[in-house]
Amino acid sequence: MSDEQHQNLAIIGHVDHGKSTLVGRLLYETGSVPEHVIEQHKEEAEEKGKGGFEFAYVMDNLAEERERGVTIDIAHQEFSTDAYDFTIVDCPGHRDFVKNMITGASQADNAVLVVAADDGVQPQTQEHVFLARTLGIGELIVAVNKMDLVDYSESDYKQTVEEVKDLLNQVRFDTENASFIPISAFEGDNIAEESDNTGWYDGDILLTALNNLPAPEPPTDAPLRLPIQDVYTISGIGTVPVGRVETGILNTGDNVSFQPSDVAGEVKTVEMHHEEVPKAEPGDNVGFNVRGVGKDDIRRGDVCGPAEDPPSVAETFQAQIVVMQHPSVITEGYTPVFHAHTAQVACTVESIDKKIDPSSGEVAEENPDFIQNGDAAVVTVRPQKPLSIEPSSEIPELGSFAIRDMGQTIAAGKVLSVNER
Ligand SMILES: Nc1nc2c(ncn2[C@@H]2O[C@H](COP(=O)(O)OP(=O)(O)OP(=O)(O)O)[C@@H](O)[C@H]2O)c(=O)[nH]1
Ligand SMILES: [Mg+2]
């Protein structure tokens, strides 16, 4: 990988509209997947009676995904343009797997919305656009796919573009932040080269549009936040917490604080890939040793930050959530498990403050008695054990969460404000 700027890109859209095929094509065109691998996938797809899925198989690695020809879990892949190293997050379109799409979208800076020209806007096109907006996606590139199936017709393209614009207006997504491109992921039109089949189109091809996306806010502006994944004892070194730097810089010699355990010390050594390094940056997975901090003083779910600007610990916090799948209704007093960074803490929904109209983003009801599937709401939440979490507007990396109960993801959300302990 080059030392270009990094960004996470979600690929969203209705089932079968060609998301995985598009990602496979992008990886192929940028040289990230060699031709012989596509050939192997082609043979396997044909054996399974899934001819045409050779590009999708680059992303769909699970046996069940290949048999059914659908994406189930989110998959990550890397490719580069001149400006960026992209991590692509390929989301499933099938409605049963929307919870996986939420996880994918909450990790993304920008997104490509894939809409098939022969099928137009469909339920999960709407749902994904709504979630992308709720979870704070910046720009949207709308890829009008399968242009080969409509004979590269300009009027079919324009009709799809109009449908998508209506949808974006409904959810108040600024259409200034959206661009539209006619493509065929399968045939390779307007992906890496201008297509001869769309002479009527004079906009950017997909790779150019990706290259021109705005840069994500540099995460180094925020103070150090390093959620702890595990704590080891290593002979000769002592206590070694490990985790991924989400924001800021970890330097040897820094005075750091672990919250909510509330212990502090000086960083003696930082190790990455079994080598000692002087500092670690966002995205780096590190192990480090802190003078005076014992193995039982800190734990998974703690967040490490500067001693002079320690991670926030919430007494309560206010959040915007979207309810995805709950068997009945959510009322005040509901106490599911919140998954935020590496922490899992039972939290009580203390009050349901507002219900938001998903189609306008405006307040639909103050203090509703309950919320249910499909609802977006502002809620006040009280963690049952100390939890370190940050407002999404200040440190987005530490400001989103999933809510799980009964073995499934019920809802996802972003922290609006934290009432500190
Ligand atoms: N003709 C044509 N077929 C396409 C194109 N892109 C994708 N397909 C076909 O559409 C089908 C579904 O493609 P996928 O890439 O698996 O779709 P997906 O959006 O990833 O589907 P899910 O992940 O299950 O939501 C496959 O048979 C592809 O070959 C295209 O540009 N033209
Ligand atoms: Mg897919």
- Residue 58 DSSP symbol: H
Instruction: Identify which has the larger pLDDT, 119 or 134.
Output: 119
Give me the amino acid identity at 392.
S
pLDDT of 388 higher than 90? yes
Q: Which is nearest to 8 in space by CA: 179, 137, 165?
A: 137
Question: Measured in angstroms, how far is the CA atom of residue 12 from the centroid of ligand 1?
Answer: 12
pLDDT of 210 higher than 90? yes
Q: Is the CB of 16 under 6 A from ligand 1?
A: yes
From 26, 73, 186, give the residue whose CB has the most ligand 1 atoms within 8 Å, as the site to mutate: 186
Candidates 1.20.58.110, 1.10.357.10, 2.30.30.40, 3.40.50.300; correct CATH number of 5-34+72-211? 3.40.50.300
The answer to whether the annotation marks 91 as part of a ligand binding site is yes
Instruction: Identify which has the larger pLDDT, 359 or 38.
Output: 38
Cβ contact 311:225 at 8 Å: yes
Q: In what side-by-side order are the strands of the sheet with 178-182?
A: 75-80, 84-90, 5-12, 110-116, 140-145, 178-182
The mean predicted confidence, pLDDT, of the chain is 89
Q: Say if 219-306 and 313-420 have the same CATH topology.
A: yes
- Residue 184 DSSP symbol: B
What is the model's pTM?
A: 0.72
pLDDT of 346 higher than 60? yes
pLDDT class for 169, splitting at 50, 70, 90? confident
DSSP states of 307-365: TTSPPPEEEEEEEEEEE---SS-B-TT---EEEETTEEEEEEEEEEEEEE-TTT-SEEE
pLDDT class for 1, splitting at 50, 70, 90? very low
CA distance 203 to 205: 7
pLDDT class for 314, splitting at 50, 70, 90? very high
Topology given in CATH for the domain delimited by 313-420 = Elongation Factor Tu (Ef-tu); domain 3 (2.40.30)
First to last CA, the chain: 42
Q: Using N-to-C axis directions, what is the helix angle for 98-106 and 123-134, rounded to 10°?
A: 30
- Residue 66 DSSP symbol: H
Distances (CA, A) of 33 to 37, 54, 323, 378: 7, 12, 37, 43
Q: Is the CB of 326 under 6 A from ligand 1?
A: no
Q: Which residues surround ligand 2, an ion (CB under 5 A)?
A: 19-20, 71
What integer pLDDT is reported at residue 322 of this predicted model? 83
The share of the chain scoring above pLDDT 90, in percent, equals 55
List the chain domain ranges.
5-34+72-211, 219-306, 313-420
**Taking CA 95 as the corner, what is the angle to CA 94 and CA 97, rounded to the nearest 5 degrees?**
75
Q: Is the CB of 92 under 6 A from ligand 1?
A: yes
Cβ contact 166:2 at 8 Å: no
pLDDT of 270 higher than 70? yes
What integer pLDDT is reported at residue 71 of this predicted model? 77
CA distance 366 to 33: 52
Q: Is the CB of 149 under 6 A from ligand 1?
A: yes
State mean pLDDT over 395-416: 84
Neighbours of 157 (CB within 10 A): 20
The share of the chain scoring above pLDDT 70, in percent, equals 93
> What dotted CATH number matches 219-306?
2.40.30.10
Neighbours of 25 (CB within 10 A): 25
State mean pLDDT over 104-108: 70
Question: Measured in angstroms, how far is the CA atom of residue 95 from the centroid of ligand 1?
Answer: 16
pLDDT class for 103, splitting at 50, 70, 90? low
